[in-house]
Amino acid sequence: MSAIDKAFTGSIADVYERLLVPLIFAPYAQDLAAHVARAQPRRVLETAAGTGIVTRALAAQLPADAAITATDLNEPMLAKAKDALKVALPDRRIEWQQADALALPFSDASFDVVACQFGVMFFPDRVKGHAEARRVLVPGGRLFFNVWDRIEDSEFTDVVVQAVAELFPNDPPRFMARTPHGYCDRDLIRSDLERAGFADITIDAVDHVSRAPSPREPAIAICQGTPMRSEIEARGAPGLEGATDKAEEALRRRFGSGAIQGRIRALVVSATSAAG
């Protein structure tokens, strides 16, 4: 995995929270939080919390006696999450901590549930990341995470990536296919979890509809609110704005010039920490 794949910093974090979260992440955050709530945990660890969309959903759905530890590798994303929650839902149940999901700074058997929204794809060693989750779970504890399915099943993203690739045919930006949509093989996910010591594994495809007031918003969100931005900027002319304009034009041709909508699909995964 390229180093830029994990670089959610600066203006990327701003655009991510403002545009990308409502565009594609919000419905899956509610879904993941509902899975966690049904497990009735007292202690929840969230890894790769990003700007806190799942943290906010967990806070809304979990009872008053549940404790939530929200972590992320990227401090700029965590800062955004803290600020958003202070405004939206001040909550003393939540503890924030910068942490690497592959080397969690917590004792064995510290949590009833580990949750991760669209973060596992970024782990340099996914089996190790799953094993760390299992280590900090109590025996019989649950891991819940989601990952994007094939890029073709997320229509806005697919259109944007194809449009930008036309600008750089000899070296198209590959971040979106390589990383966000790069961990969708169900057999591989199941095998990785089993190797990490999990059992009772379920993997379900969940469809939602992504909506935007115009083609401009998803063009900005995907080109400027993800590490794809760094790939575009590294390639020179026509530059970031030129690539965003190209993506907007492609989205307009495919979906129309007013409010638009497109299908998105993710895999929602749950697994139980095996004893021993």
- Structural domain count of the chain: 1
Q: How far apart are CA 111 and CA 134, in angstroms?
A: 10
Indicate whether this model's pTM tops 0.85. Answer: yes
Helical packing angle, 155-167 and 216-224, nearest 10°? 70
Where does residue 14 rank: exposed (0-12), middle (13-18), buried (19+ CB within 10 A)? middle
The HSE-up count of residue 70 (CA atoms within 13 Å, CB side) is 28
Read off φ and ψ for residue 212, nearest 5 degrees: -145, 150
pLDDT for the residue numbered 74: 87
CATH number for the domain harbouring residue 91: 3.40.50.150
Instruction: Name the residue range of residue 246's domain.
Output: 3-273
The residue whose two tokens read 């591989």 is: 188
**Helix, strand, or coil here: 253?**
helix
The dihedral sign for the CA sequence 186, 52, 210, 216: negative
Sequence-ordered list of residues with C-beta below 8 angstroms from that of 274, at least 6 positions apart, any chain:
134, 139, 197, 198, 199
Mean pLDDT by 10 residues, the chain (276 residues): 48 85 95 98 96 93 94 86 66 89 98 98 97 98 98 98 97 96 98 98 98 98 95 96 98 98 98 84
